[in-house]
Amino acid sequence: MAESTPNNDERFFKLRCPHCRHDFQEKIGRMKTGGELRCPGPGCGVTLRYEVSQFLRAMGQERRGLYDFSGDFLTPDAPPKLRH
């Protein structure tokens, strides 16, 4: 299990939005406390949900050099529909 040190929590974790494929980073401390975040990709902004336990597992994989940062533990909500 990942250590919860201030230095570790301030480190950034690589992610990729499964909706728009935008690569971005989020602080580990932020990922440990939430179960959702928003994609910062241009024109996306979709809410991405995840289980903290899945994130911690991905963090362990990253530590062993086995993590594919595609963010396969992130689940996008349906994007908002545009009004016509």
pLDDT in tens, 9-66: 899 988 999 999 999 999 999 999 888 999 999 999 999 999 998 888 888 877 776 6
Whether residue 63 is contained in a domain is answered as yes
State the total domains in the chain: 1
Whether residue 4 is contained in a domain is answered as no
Whether residue 81 is contained in a domain is answered as no
Q: What is the pTM of this model?
A: 0.72
34, 27, 79, 25: which is closest to 54 by C-alpha? Answer: 34
* Residue 62 structure tokens: 């990253």
Domain range holding 32?
Answer: 9-76
Whether residue 65 is contained in a domain is answered as yes
Q: Residue 60's pLDDT is what?
A: 82
